[in-house]
């Protein structure tokens, strides 16, 4: 299958297989139920695992374009390569990435099949984003009678519910063999629900926030004397980050890279975040860009945090 050209079909595989690979043999193989999760784990444990190495658990989704109407799980999924939803099949993969070998080993692959309720919710969300007709301007201030609603824990989206089930099954399978500390996910999962799901499984999340995420310094000033104690201090200004949080500065050619680390608060998260902000500046044009990485592990230093998130890209080689 790795060297076949053109469309990969069962008939095409039989033609490339040679003796012993008849069309009926290939059909019977694909009709056989194989416990792939157990197979991948046993292969990893006996042929890949090295006891002295550290491993990260990395998750990501891949979309394969597919025409037609009758393939199981066929739907429209967002593909980053195209920058828009495309018809195809989606697969979510958990992979173990060695921090020493810096290689990714897939350990569980599941097809993403969205329910009718999830499809309806997705359409409703898209419809809510459409511009609405102008209405009367609301009076300034908080509406009378409104109350604070605490952040609800344990309410997962259908997507996170699926991933939580797969993660739970994987951790039960490898329990006692491989101690895991970190789950690394891309910026799509840089939110409170994904963090809560990760902590429920006794792991720490490493992910990325939006570049305009509203982060706040914890308030350390005096008590006002009435009301609840103030929690949020000054809002982080990405164009004027405090020098006291600067950890490293490097210059390569005309590019300057500054790395900041700090513990910050976000109003959508119920716990402080270990945040690393990487700022790149073109010294010739003064053009500036930054990324915001974070972890729920407040004791994790900035060097491994950046390195572990960079190792997440190794899972992309499993999709090629």
Question: Could you tell me if residue 127 is inside a domain?
Answer: no
Question: Could you tell me if residue 243 is inside a domain?
Answer: yes
Taking 3-state DSSP, the helix, strand and coil percentages for the chain, each rounded to the nearest 5, stand at 30, 30, 40
Q: Which long-range contacts (C-beta less than 8 Å, at least 24 apart) are formed by 228-235? A: 231/265, 232/265, 232/267
Give the closest residue to 278 by CA, choosing from 314, 243, 302. 302
The tokens for 154 are: 């344990």
- How far is residue 64's CA from residue 77's CA, in Å, rounded to a whole number? 9
CATH of the domain at 178: 3.90.350.10
Residue 192, C-beta contacts closer than 8 angstroms, at least 6 positions apart: 151, 268, 269, 270
- How far is residue 163's CA from residue 28's CA, in Å, rounded to a whole number? 30
DSSP one-letter string for 212-236: T--EEEEP-S---SSSSPP-EEEEP
Give the closest residue to 38 by CA, choosing from 30, 28, 46. 46
Total count of domains within the chain:
1
Scan for tokens 């950046």, then name that residue: 306
The reported pTM is 0.86
Domain span at residue 74 reads 35-115+155-319
Question: Could you tell me if residue 148 is inside a domain?
Answer: no
Question: Could you tell me if residue 149 is inside a domain?
Answer: no
Question: Could you tell me if residue 19 is inside a domain?
Answer: no
Contact 247/226 with Cβ under 8 angstroms?
Answer: no
Residue 215, C-beta contacts closer than 8 angstroms, at least 6 positions apart: 209, 235, 236, 264, 265, 266, 273, 275, 292
Question: Could you tell me if residue 24 is inside a domain?
Answer: no
Bridge pairing between strands 204-209 and 246-252: unpaired
Question: Could you tell me if residue 295 is inside a domain?
Answer: yes
Question: Could you tell me if residue 126 is inside a domain?
Answer: no
Q: Digits of tens for pLDDT over the chain (320 positions)?
A: 556 777 778 888 888 887 888 999 999 988 999 898 899 999 999 999 998 889 999 999 999 888 888 888 888 888 888 888 899 999 999 999 999 999 999 999 999 998 887 777 777 777 777 666 666 677 888 888 887 776 656 577 888 989 999 999 999 999 888 889 999 999 999 999 999 999 999 999 999 999 999 999 999 888 888 888 889 999 999 999 999 999 999 999 999 999 999 999 999 999 999 999 999 999 999 999 999 999 999 999 999 999 999 999 999 888 76
């Amino acid at each position: 299958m790795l060297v076949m050209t053109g469309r990969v079909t069962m008939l095409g595989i039989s033609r490339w297989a040679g003796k012993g690979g008849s069309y009926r043999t290939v059909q019977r193989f694909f009709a056989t139920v194989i416990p792939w999760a157990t197979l991948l784990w046993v292969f990893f444990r006996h042929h890949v695992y090295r006891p002295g190495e550290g491993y990260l658990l990395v998750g990501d989704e891949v979309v394969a374009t597919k025409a037609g109407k009758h393939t199981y799980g066929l739907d429209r999924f967002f593909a980053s390569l195209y920058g828009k939803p495309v018809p195809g099949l989606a697969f979510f993969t958990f992979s173990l990435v060695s921090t020493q070998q810096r290689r990714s080993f897939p350990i569980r692959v599941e097809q993403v099949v969205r329910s009718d309720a999830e499809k309806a919710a997705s359409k409703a969300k898209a419809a809510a984003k459409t511009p609405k007709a102008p209405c009367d301007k609301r009076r300034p201030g908080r509406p009378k009678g409104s109350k604070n609603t605490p952040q609800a824990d344990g309410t997962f989206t259908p997507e996170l519910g699926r991933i939580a089930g797969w993660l739970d099954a994987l951790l039960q399978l490898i329990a006692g063999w491989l101690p895991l500390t970190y789950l690394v996910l891309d910026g799509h999962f840089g939110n409170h629900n994904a963090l809560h799901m990760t902590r429920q499984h006794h792991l720490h999340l490493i992910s990325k926030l939006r570049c305009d995420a509203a982060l706040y310094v914890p308030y350390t000033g005096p008590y006002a004397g009435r009301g609840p104690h103030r929690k949020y201090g000054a809002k982080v200004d990405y164009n004027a980050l405090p020098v006291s949080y600067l950890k490293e500065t490097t210059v390569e050619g005309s590019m300057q890279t500054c790395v900041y680390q700090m513990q910050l608060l976000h109003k959508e998260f119920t716990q402080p975040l270990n945040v690393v902000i990487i700022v790149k500046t073109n010294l010739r044009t003064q053009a500036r860009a930054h990324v915001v990485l974070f972890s729920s592990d407040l004791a994790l230093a900035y060097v491994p945090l950046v390195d572990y998130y960079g190792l997440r890209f190794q899972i992309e080689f499993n999709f090629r």
